[in-house]
Amino acid sequence: MKKVSLLLLSIYTSLLLYWMFFGFGREYDAHAAYRYNIVPFHTITDFALMRVGGRIDQWINLFGNIAVFVPFGLGIPFIKSYRLHTFLLRFGLCILIVEIVQMLSKHGTFDIDDLILNSIGATIGWCVWRYIFKNRTSSS
């Protein structure tokens, strides 16, 4: 199961990184300013209250940023088991690096809210994995 999880997560990560840097019409603009949000819940509030974008943008930003990271919480424990706080620390560091690279490469925005939403998604996945794993081993 470890090798299958590693293969699937590698493929999924490659696709996700492509979407994060080149998907959704992201193009490099050498003259663009670095874009970032370091105020927690600012972007989340803007989308939740429909201050920006439409309904589809709201769903993509709020729920998409959670849902697409659930597989990491489900898959990583098959590769290496971590306690939740260790998993979140390592996962958060990886997402932080990706967010910084998005901003510096001008292929996206550094957004602390993305880090929050992505971590929620990974946590949901980890909790589902843990629930299934505990129930499976306790009923065996």
DSSP 56-91: HHHHIIIIIHHHTTHHHHHHHHHHS---HHHHHHHH
Q: Per-residue pLDDT for 40 more than 70?
A: yes
Residue-number span of the structural domain to which 79 is assigned: 2-138
Q: Per-residue pLDDT for 48 more than 80?
A: yes
pLDDT value for 3 = 95
What is the number of structural domains in the chain? 1
Q: How far apart are CA 93 and CA 101, in angstroms?
A: 12
Please, which pLDDT band fits residue 137 given cuts at 50, 70 and 90?
A: low
pLDDT value for 29 = 80
Mean pLDDT of 101-109: 93
